[in-house]
Copies of this chain bind each other. A is one copy, B any other.
């Protein structure tokens, strides 16, 4: 216990202990010793010494020598919903399978943070960077390009790098179709549909709205601007937008398309204050999944984005041959949760 807080052991310490050179230690510890025909006895002495000294390789030194950090970077807005949480975990799992150490950093959707975090990750020499949920990834793509670090845009695409996104349009169409069917079966009106949340001009929102409109048009309904409440990300905005709709119409929409889970938080904040009877009269859907949201006391259909496949595609996009022919990869989303089973 005497001098417990001494320096960490290095290959030089092992070399001394095992009476060999540092190079030999390196070769042995890297398992390349067979190729370099080092005597089994020597190898054994070295591994023993390493164990005794509690040796742990210094990846900083290795990284410097090899110009490979062994780090895989990803930035995302936050972890507070299942989409990003699952995305982060899928990323970690894929990175680890490839022998890389994942670094995931959240940026709270702040442009300044996005830029500084990207710069830091590039300075840490991450071997590539996944950029998730950034409305305009182009400046970040440029930063990566100037550092010659490959990157992929996820969820929100950009022209500066290969991009992987959910098939928003098809998914939204599907969700809307399901809502329409349900409303028709109840004898409700398709005219009173509302799209809630998201940001106009942003790829994900625009493509989902397009799918929503696609579906309604098949029933000869042309949703006007009053059917679109693109209130942004903050839950409070969605709550207020829904409250305002309720005030204007004296009731909830017959079909509510919720852009994403953040808007859902706001919607439910308002809706849960209404009498139970009113909730039974409407149908909702959300382009995201959450286990609790799926159990709320009204009819809600949720779509789960296929984050595992998205991650696989993102790693594919890193491969040597740049797939110039398909810089934008669409991944279908899947129905999820309790209500999905009933369909």
Contact = CB atoms under 8 A, between A and B. Distances in A.
Interface string A95-133: 000000111111010000000000111111100000000
Interface in A59-97: 59-61, 63-64, 69-71, 78-80, 82, 84-86, 88-89, 92
A122 B56 CA distance: 8
Nearest to A82: B80
Chain A interface size, under 10 / 10 to 19 / 20 to 34 / 35 or more: 35 or more
B292 A59 contact: no
A124 B148 CA distance: 23
Given A276-B276, A295-B272, A105 B92 contact: yes
A119 to B, nearest CB: 7
Contacts of A59: 120, 123-125
Contacts of A84: 79
A290 interface: yes
Interface in A289-343: 290-293, 295-297, 338
A108 B60 CA distance: 26
Interface string A131-163: 000000000000000111000000000000000
Interface of A: 4-8, 54, 56-61, 63-64, 69-71, 78-80, 82, 84-86, 88-89, 92, 101-106, 108, 119-125, 146-148, 235, 264-265, 268-269, 271-272, 276, 290-293, 295-297, 338
